[in-house]
Amino acid sequence: MAQFTRRQLLRTGLAAGALVTATQCTRNQAPVGTPNNPATGPTVNTNQIKDVTLRFIGTGVSQINEIKQKAEEDLGFKLEMRALSTEENNQIAITQPGQYDVFDGEYFSLPLVVPSGNLQAIDVSRITDFDKIVPIFTTGELTSGAKVNTSQGTKPSKVMFLTDQNSTEFATEPTGWATLIPFQYNADTLGYRPDLVGRQIESWGELFNEEFRGKTSILDIPSIGIMDAAMVAEALGLMTFQDKGNMTRAELDQITAILMEQKRAGQFRAFWKTFDESVNLMASGEVVLQSMWSPGVTAVKSQGIQCVYAPLREGYRGWGGGIGFSKSLSGIELDAAYEYINWMLDGWVGAFLGRQGYYSAIPENAKKYMSQAEWDFWYEGKAASEDMIDPFGKKLESKDAVRDGGSFEQRMSDVVVWNSVMDEQPYLVQKWNEFVAA
C-alpha cells in the first residue's frame, strides 16, 4: 500500500515537473510580443496549442456552433461551448470557477462576478485592436451631446477596467487591465406584432396598456426586467426615480407594487428568461407586445411573421457583452484565450452576430466581413438594397426594408439606461421574487 502511494506520488511529481518545464519552454519561446505583432506567437507553439481546449460558458445568443467551428478552423485549437440562461451563466461564473476557462457574460454581472475573484484581469496591451473599440466601452461617450453619455445603470465603461492586475476594484478611468473585452452589445426595446397590434407603438408605457391585457410579457431576469419596468412606470408618470440604475429600497418597494398590481390584473401572459422563449411566445401569438432582444426579433421574422423592434420616445435600454478569463487560466491556455480575443475582434464574429442585429465592438472590422448591402442596412439605417439573410441562412427582410430605429448612431446614442446591478441588489432580487410569486 505504502509503496503504491509512493510510486503514485513519484509519478505525479514527475508529471508536474514535466508540466512546469513545458510551460516554461512555451513562455521562453513565446515572443516577448509587441501587441502589434502577436501573429508570430501562434506559429511557434502551434503544436502545443493544438491540444488546448478552451471551455466557454455563455448564453444562447452567442454560444453558437457556427462561431465555434469557424474559430476552431482559424485558430487550430478546440472550443467547448455551453449555452446557459443569463442567470445560470452568472451563477457558474461566481460559484464554480473550475468549470470554465472563458466567461462570455454581460457587463452588468461584473459587480457580482468581479468581487468573487474568479476572473483575472485582461492585459490590454495584448489586444491588438484595443484602441479601435467603440468609446462607449472605454470612455463611456459616443458623440458629444448623445443621451448615452449620461445614461444610468451599470454602464459598461463603469466596470470595464480594474485599478490594477490583481485588484477587484473598478477603475473610473481607463487602465491597462480590463475585466471583459466587448464583442456584442445593443439597444433593447419593446417588440410587437404589427398585424395583431394594429397601430404603431411609440412609448414604453404601452406595455401596461389595458388594450393588450393578457397579451404582454416581461423578462424574468431581475437586473434587466426591473429596468424595463422602470422605463414603463416613468413613461406613464406612475413614479419618478432619483437614479433608475441605483434605486433606493423605497423606490424598489413602489415599483414592485406597481408590477404586482399589473400582474394581478392579468396584464402579463407569461414571463420569459431566455430569448428563444420570447420568440415562441411572439411567433405563436400568445403575446403581441413584450420586451425583447434583437435575435428574438430576427428569429420571429425569419419564420415569416412580422415583428417590429420599436424605437420608443423615452429611449433604449442598453446592454453589452464580452469575454473574460477565469482565474485558473494560465500558460498556453491563457495564450490561446488571448488569441481567441484577437480573432474575435478581427471582424468575422462581429459580422456574424451583426446579422441578428447585434453591434460589433469594432464596427470597421466587422464591415470587412459584411456585404455593402448588409453594412448599409444594419449600421447605416439605409433601405436594404437586397434581401437580408439572418446568420443561419434564413430570409429576414425583403429588399427596401429599413432597420427599426435607424442607424447605429441613432440607436446607440439613445440608450438612456443599462442593465443594472444596484447597491440594493439582494433587496431587488427579493422584491422581484415576490413579484414573480405574487
Least spacing, CB of residue 136 vs another protein, in Å:
26
CB of 147 to another protein, least distance (A): 30
List beta partners, residue 290: 191, 217
R_g of the chain, CA atoms, integer Å: 23
Question: Nearest-CA neighbor of 110 among 149, 141, 150, 155?
Answer: 155
What Å distances lie between residue 137 and 180, 186, 349, 362, CA to CA?
10, 12, 18, 11
Give whichever of 130 and 272 is closer to another protein, judged by the CB atom: 272
Which one, 136 or 180, has the nearer CB to another protein?
A: 180
Minimum distance of another protein from residue 55's CB (angstroms): 6
- Nearest approach, Cβ of residue 151 and another protein (Å): 23
In angstroms, how far is CA 179 from the centroid of its own chain? 13
Min dist CB 433 to another protein, Å, is: 5
Q: How far is the CB of 152 from another protein (least distance, A)?
A: 20
**What does the alpha-carbon distance between residue 316 and residue 204 come to, in Å, rounded to a whole number?**
9
CB atoms within 10 A of CB 335: 24
Q: Is 133 helix (H, G, I), strand (E, B) or coil?
A: coil
How far, CA to CA in Å, does 194 sit from each of 132, 297, 316, 378, 415?
38, 12, 20, 21, 24
Of 153, 201, 192, 199, residue with least CA distance to 312: 201
Percent of the chain that is helix, strand, coil (3-state, to 5)? 45, 15, 35
Give the residue with the Cβ less far from another protein, 211 or 364: 211
Residue 188 CB, nearest distance to another protein (Å)? 18
Q: Are strands 83-84 and 53-59 parallel, antiparallel or unpaired?
A: parallel
Buried b (16+ CB within 10 A) or exposed e, 29-44: ebeeeebeebeebbee
Select 69 or 166, whichever has its Cβ closest to another protein: 69
Nearest approach, Cβ of 318 to another protein (angstroms)? 22
- Residue placing its CB nearer to another protein in the complex, 125 or 303: 303
User: Based on CB atoms, which residue is closest to another protein, 89 or 365?
Assistant: 89
Given the complex with another protein, which of 126 and 269 has the nearer CB atom? 269
Residue closer to another protein by CB (options 93, 310) is 93
Q: Can you read off the three cell numbers belonging to residue 7?
A: 510510486
Q: Which residues bind another protein (CB under 8 A)?
A: 55, 60, 63-66, 69, 80-85, 87-88, 90-91, 94-96, 98-100, 112-113, 115-116, 214, 217, 220, 222, 263, 268-274, 276-277, 279-281, 283-286, 299, 303-304, 392, 425-426, 429-430, 433-434, 436-438
CA distance readout (Å), 261 to 73, 114, 321, 351, 387: 53, 36, 33, 43, 44
Cβ proximity to another protein, 112 vs 238, nearer residue: 112
Where do we find the cell 466581413? 369
- Tell me how far, at minimum, the Cβ of 92 lies from another protein, in Å: 9
Residues contacting 69, CB < 8 A, separation 6+: none
Dist. CA 274–CA 88, nearest whole Å:
11
- Let me know: does 217 contact 270? Beta carbons within 8 Å: yes
Give backbone dihedrals phi and psi of 298, rounded to 5 degrees, phi first. Answer: -65, -35
Nearest approach in angstroms of CB 252 to another protein is 14
220/414 with CB nearer another protein: 220
The residue among 169 and 364 lying less far from another protein, judged by its C-beta, is 169
CB of 160 to another protein, least distance (A): 19
For residue 435, what are the contacts with CB-CB under 8 A and spacing of at least 6?
256, 259, 260, 263
